[in-house]
Amino acid sequence: EAQVTQNPRYLITVTGKKLTVTCSQNMNHEYMSWYRQDPGLGLRQIYYSMNVEVTDKGDVPEGYKVSRKEKRNFPLILESPSPNQTSLYFCASSRWDSSGAEAFFGQGTRLTVV
């Protein structure tokens, strides 16, 4: 089954404790991205990757890191989480198409930083 898998689904952590949210896709998609969803603000892009070892900042990259060492994986790293990073996070993947292509989303990760 074609899917995007995120882990964990729920996470409560304390300020400053490094964490990683994993994302994996089995569709051989080139393009992967991370979004955060906050009430009234929609889905805002954090980082995206057009292929292995190619990453770039989205609209709200501060406080986040990513890496793309393999095509299927795109982890999101919070080196020193703060309460304003409490949010619902989605990973998405799509095939690369300069005219646009459907994005497939993971199940979401609800992160609370206390």
Partner 1 sequence: GENVEQHPSTLSVQEGDSAVIKCTYSDSASNYFPWYKQELGKRPQLIIDIRSNVGEKKDQRIAVTLNKTAKHFSLHITETQPEDSAVYFCAATFGTASKLTFGTGTRLQVTL
Which residues lie near partner 1 (CB under 8 A)?
31, 33, 35, 40-45, 48, 50, 56, 58-59, 90, 96-103, 105-108
Let me know: does 61 contact 47? Beta carbons within 8 Å: yes
Q: With respect to partner 1, which residue has the nearer C-beta, 18 or 44?
A: 44
Compute the least distance from the CB of residue 73 to partner 1, in Å: 18
φ, ψ (nearest 5 deg) of residue 29: -75, 140
Q: Kind and range of the H or E element at 81?
A: none
* Minimum CB–partner distance for residue 15 and partner 1 (Å): 27
* All residues at 6 or more sequence positions from 19 whose CB lies less than 8 Å from its CB, including other chains: 11, 13, 77, 78, 81, 111
Distance in Å, CB of 82 to partner 1, minimum: 23
Q: How far apart are CA 7 and CA 24, in angstroms?
A: 9
Q: 13 vs 45, which CB is nearer to partner 1?
A: 45
Paired strand residues for 47: 34, 57
The residue (of 47 and 113) whose beta carbon lies closer to partner 1 is 47
| Closest CB to partner 1 among residues 1, 99 | 99
